[in-house]
Amino acid sequence: MTAGGVEVWRGGVKPEQLDEMGHLNVRHYVALATEGLTAFCEPLGLSGAFRPGAGATLLVREHHIRFLREARSRAPLHMTASVLEMGETDARLLFILWHSLSGEPCASFNTVVAHVTTDEARPFPWPKMARERAAGLVGTLPDFAHGKSMTVEPVESRASLARADELDLKIIAAGAFGASDCDSFGRMQAELFMGTIVSGIPQMGHGFRKTVVEHTDPPPEKVGNAALEYRLIYLDWARAGDLYQMRTGQLSFDAKGMNVIHWLVDPVSGRAFGSCQAYIVTFDLGARKIMPIPPAAKAVLDARATAGISL
């Protein structure tokens, strides 16, 4: 064990992984967390849990992610993992992505997983070896990994196609999942939830950013939006050929940013694949700092919030 737990990944940011802000795209953070989870199975005594033909695997139920310090092109990073708590069939694990040169945290992933059968995703008890090894991998949740702009308390999601229609939530992305979008067991890869949100961002328009800039004096020359915190709840797992819609509404605004709700739903069956809350800020690209929301801008934005929306 090292600071943050055992090391499960090491590498750097590739130029092709950057977003328009010039830092690591949020989809790739989730992909790295999946790599870290796969590697963490080895010290837990669950070797091969993600290989085709395995009888048991780990299924992610939830990610709470804090983005702490941006990771730009070529930044060297590494990831550690530890066990926060373990139930009969589930566990809460902590993954921390670190800047390797400075030792500062880049992002944290408070992750709920279930020990399940690979065919039906049916939860069943952890093997004795996993429990014994987990006892030696216990860590604590640092202050920087706690929820800041949203709660991480258990919730019962209300996401569904019918509810999205009732609230008139905007469709920001729609399409179909393919075979390359799925893991070894034919289920949608976790990063696809985040990736679908990212692909739909242009459809959201620039209303939030534009409103903040219009009420800022003087306005900066170049601005963008950045995510500081996400809570992703995985409710069901799409398969290749399943259609999807990403339905979105604005929950609330504070002095710095907005909380947005995204529901990933099946437009055929009406079921929800996932529910997400994201905290977004407007970013001054020249100064590389967050822009506060002026009171006049907040008054305009508050009127756009979707009444009744939640995770």
Strands of the chain (E only): list them. Answer: 6-12, 56-67, 76-86, 90-99, 105-117, 170-176, 223-234, 243-253, 257-265, 272-284, 289-291
pLDDT exceeds 80 at position 2: no
Please, what's the largest Cα pairwise distance for the chain? 62
Looking at residue 288, its pLDDT comes to 84
Q: Are residues 96 and 153 in the same domain?
A: no
Tokens (6 digits) for 236: 């069901």
Q: Are residues 138 and 152 in the same domain?
A: no
pLDDT in tens, 183-200: 999 999 999 999 999 999
Give the mean model confidence (pLDDT) for residues 156-174: 97
pLDDT exceeds 70 at position 1: no
Q: Are residues 82 and 158 in the same domain?
A: no
Looking at residue 205, its pLDDT comes to 63
Looking at residue 3, its pLDDT comes to 67
Check residue 126 and report its DSSP letter: P
Looking at residue 226, its pLDDT comes to 87
Last residue of a domain, one of 92, 112, 146: 146
Last residue of a domain, one of 120, 146, 172: 146
What is the residue-averaged pLDDT of the chain?
94
Q: Are residues 177 and 273 in the same domain?
A: yes
Range with the poorest average pLDDT among 122-131, 202-211, 245-254, 268-277: 202-211
What's this model's pTM, rounded to 2 decimal places? 0.95
pLDDT in tens, 109-132: 999 999 999 999 999 999 999 999
Looking at residue 159, its pLDDT comes to 97
Q: Total domain count for the chain?
A: 2
Domain limits for position 124? 1-146
Q: Are residues 223 and 251 in the same domain?
A: yes
Q: Are residues 22 and 70 in the same domain?
A: yes
Give the mean model confidence (pLDDT) for residues 251-278: 97
Which residue matches tokens 């929306």? 309
Q: Are residues 129 and 159 in the same domain?
A: no
Q: Are residues 171 and 129 in the same domain?
A: no
Give the mean model confidence (pLDDT) for residues 78-93: 98
The C-alpha atoms of residue 169 and residue 240 are separated, in whole angstroms, by 25
Last residue of a domain, one of 112, 146, 180: 146
Q: Are residues 252 and 305 in the same domain?
A: yes
pLDDT in tens, 19-66: 877 889 999 999 999 999 999 999 999 999 999 999 999 999 999 999
Instruction: Indicate which CATH number applies to the domain containing 228.
Output: 3.10.129.10
